[in-house]
Amino acid sequence: MPATLGYWNIRGLVQYIKFLLEYTGEEYVDKLYEFGPAPDYDKSQWLKEKFEMGLELPNVIQLKFQLPYYIDGDVKLTQSVAILRHIARKHNLLAKTDADIAKADMLEYEAMDLRLNFRYVCGPDFESQKGSYIKETAEPKLAQLSSVLGSNDWFLGTNISYVDFFLYESLYCIHELTPSSFDKHENLKKFMQRFEGLERIKNYINSDRYVKSRIHGPKATFGGK
């Protein structure tokens, strides 16, 4: 029986998990939850199921929209990075050496910081924050990641690992906003092209199951449609 991955019908904090599942060929049910109509974008479709699924750590009401979740038999997980790591562990895509494990831990948090920061800047103050975000956050981080990647195919060297899926998604978001910021970093552009050229990833991107432009929820000023 295939696993179930549940999330809103957006990229959000699930797209890197979907990429990993597609790459590994693991069969899964893509359970999509829809927001209600404007202006409230009601979330009741998820909330009415949330505490009936046997999840150990669904967030409390103050953090009430906890998704994604991943259910595979007796394994029931929340928290996107925990899910990503679990799937990577199943398919031998975690870092191997102590040095690479430490580097992967660092890159994992870099990817999450980038993704969350991007989400915040795309809110109601997007137009006033966009310029400073590109100059003070996106471009310095691209320079750092370009230096870390160097001449390698993947961020841990010659072999792809779970952090590449996470970092690709964070880079994709920035590229959607400011593609010209990548002009100085040919290795990052090639990294993204290399990732997109992986056979199973390419097939997925070209399928009707792939969510391209809905990066955030519908209230976002940028990437919400």
Question: Cβ atoms within 10 A of the Cβ of 115, count?
Answer: 24
pLDDT per position as a tens digit, 110-132: 999 999 999 999 999 999 999 99
Write the DSSP symbol of residue 60: P
Give the CA distances from residue 196 to residues 153, 172, 192, 193, 203, in Å, rounded to whole numbers and listed in that order: 13, 11, 6, 5, 9
Q: Which amino acid is at 131?
A: G
Same domain, 122 and 81: no
Same domain, 65 and 37: yes
Please, which residues bridge with residue 157 across strands? 154
Same domain, 183 and 122: yes
Same domain, 160 and 182: yes
| Lowest-confidence region among 43-57, 84-98, 101-115, 135-149 | 43-57
Same domain, 26 and 104: no
Whether pLDDT at 83 is above 60 = yes
Look up the domain containing 19 and give its range: 3-92
* Confidence band, pLDDT 50/70/90 cuts, at residue 64: very low
Whether pLDDT at 62 is above 80 = no
Same domain, 127 and 143: yes
- Is there a domain that residue 219 lies in? no
Last residue of a domain, one of 25, 58, 92: 92
Whether pLDDT at 58 is above 70 = no
Number of domains in the chain: 2
- pLDDT value of position 43: 67
Q: What is the CATH number of the domain that holds 68?
A: 1.20.1050.130
CA 143 to chain CA centroid, nearest Å:
20
In terms of pLDDT, which residue wins out, 44 or 213? 213
Residue reference for tokens 């999509």: 32
Same domain, 182 and 125: yes
Same domain, 79 and 106: no
Residue 139 neighbours by CB under 8 Å, 6+ apart? 181
- Is there a domain that residue 210 lies in? no
Q: How far apart are CA 129 and CA 123, in angstroms?
A: 9
Whether pLDDT at 216 is above 60 = yes
pLDDT per position as a tens digit, 169-208: 999 999 999 999 999 999 999 999 999 999 999 999 999 9
Same domain, 57 and 141: no
Average pLDDT, the chain: 92
Whether pLDDT at 13 is above 90 = yes
Residue 18 neighbours by CB under 8 Å, 6+ apart? 5, 30, 204
Q: How far apart are CA 102 and CA 104, in angstroms?
A: 5
Whether pLDDT at 63 is above 50 = no
- Is there a domain that residue 31 lies in? yes
- Is there a domain that residue 83 lies in? yes
Q: What is the CATH number of the domain that holds 190?
A: 1.20.1050.10
Last residue of a domain, one of 92, 125, 147: 92
Last residue of a domain, one of 53, 68, 92: 92
Same domain, 71 and 105: no
- pLDDT value of position 37: 72
| CB distance 34 to 59 below 8 Å | no
Same domain, 62 and 121: no
* Confidence band, pLDDT 50/70/90 cuts, at residue 155: very high
Q: How far apart are CA 106 and CA 103, in angstroms?
A: 5
Half-sphere exposure of 223 (CA within 13 A, CB side): 25
Q: How far apart are CA 138 and CA 17, in angstroms?
A: 23
E strand or H helix that includes residue 195: helix 186-197
Helix, strand or coil, per DSSP, at residue 165: helix
- pLDDT value of position 141: 98
- pLDDT value of position 42: 67
Q: Which amino acid is at 144?
A: Q
Same domain, 155 and 82: no
Residue reference for tokens 């841990």: 156
